[in-house]
Structure 1
Amino acid sequence: MDYKIFRAINRLVGRYPSVDAIMIMISQKARYVYVLLLILMWFRSGFYKKITIQAIISACTTLLIHFFIKQFYFRPRPFVNHNVHILPPIPSGMNSSFPSKHTMLSFAVATSILFYNRLLGWFMWLLAFLTGFSRIWSGQHYPSDIIGSALIGSITSIVVNVIRWLWNCFVSCVMHSYNRICAFVRMR
């Protein structure tokens, strides 16, 4: 079933060059939208600084989980075992298909922001969904890789949000240090 869904999506590659170009752009450039939004949020207000820190903690935790999964589990990418249409850039066949780092990080950050800002969070969730879909379209991941990665990224953010009392002191320390550095720079 996983391969059938993959084929149904991937066989469209090459038929619609403009969609191919959009999928390549989303797959490779969406992460810059996330970084830009986090930077803009950081400079907006103290409330948004806390959201940014929570999103960064979720992203770092997700990267750690990604690293551990890659150490113990390997699933060949679709283009290794099947004749598929693949869009650039072509990843190494030695990289595991599961989990998708792009998708995990996108959903981790989007979910973190969704807790505090619904409009921006839903926009970022839509972008995360498109990121995952573009990875299937481009022949780099199976649908189950994307669904699993989206769940891991989202659940990681939920857990980080639930246990934020553990790292609330860390966030307060970062905010206090940042404010003191800014005040010191203004005095000079």
Structure 2
Amino acid sequence: MDKRLFWSIQQLSGRFFLVDQFMILLSKRARYVYMFVVLLKWILDGPQRRTARSATLSIIVAWLIDFVLRRLCFKARPFMKQKVGILIPTKADSSFPSKHTLLAFAVSTAIFLRNRVWGRILSYLSGLIGLSRVWVGHHYPSDIVFSALIGAMTGMVVHQKTSHCKEADS
């Protein structure tokens, strides 16, 4: 099922120039949107700064999870096992987890739990980032789904812990 879904997406890749360019843009540059939102919230005071702290901590924890998972369970990227048209070059490291997707969902979930509007926008963007990673030939759909779940859980746990610490300080 995973490979079948991968190939159904992959067969569209390289056929539509504008869609390809949009997917490449998402895959390479969407992280700057998250950085901008977190930085903007950090500059603002009060609850906005707490949101930025939660999002930043979510990034750190998600990055550590990515670091550990890549060393524990290697999964060959699609282009390493078969001929796949990749739109942008990448390292021949583990396909799971998708660091882009993991980090995007960790941040968007952390923000969503404190600010529904910004969180919803970033969650949609996170989904598009995940799709772009399959589109450019770097990941299988299962890599994206599980990375999104781990990222979302990371954002939820960090939110819960930071909310609990805030209550204890009060």
Same fold (TM over 0.5): yes
The corresponding residue for 1:43 is 43
TM-score when normalising by structure 1: 0.86
Secondary structure at the counterpart of residue 3 of structure 1? helix
The corresponding residue for 2:135 is 137
Moved more, 18-27 or 153-162: 153-162
Q: Distance in 1 between matches of 2:36 and 2:106?
A: 16
How many aligned residue pairs are there? 168
Q: Which amino acid aligns with 2:22?
A: I
Secondary structure at the counterpart of residue 30 of structure 2? helix
The corresponding residue for 2:12 is 12
Does the CA-based 8 Å contact 1:87-1:139 persist in structure 2? yes
Does the CA-based 8 Å contact 1:100-1:145 persist in structure 2? yes
Q: Distance in 1 between matches of 2:3 and 2:47?
A: 44
Q: Does 1:22 pair with 2:29?
A: no
Q: Which amino acid aligns with 1:92?
A: K
Secondary structure at the counterpart of residue 163 of structure 1? helix
Q: Give the CA deviation at 1:164.
A: 2.1
Q: Distance in 2 between matches of 1:33 and 1:140?
A: 21
Does the CA-based 8 Å contact 1:66-1:99 persist in structure 2? yes
The corresponding residue for 1:33 is 33
Does the CA-based 8 Å contact 1:11-1:84 persist in structure 2? no
The corresponding residue for 1:113 is 111
The corresponding residue for 1:82 is 82
* RMSD of Structure 2 on Structure 1 (CA): 1.3
Q: Give the CA deviation at 1:166.
A: 5.8
The corresponding residue for 1:63 is 63
Deviating above 3 A after TM superposition, structure 1's stretches of 4 or more consecutive aligned residues are 165-169
Does the CA-based 8 Å contact 2:14-2:87 persist in structure 1? no
Q: Distance in 2 between matches of 1:42 and 1:67?
A: 26
Q: Does 1:127 pair with 2:114?
A: no
Structure 1 spans left out of the alignment, 5+ residues: 173-188
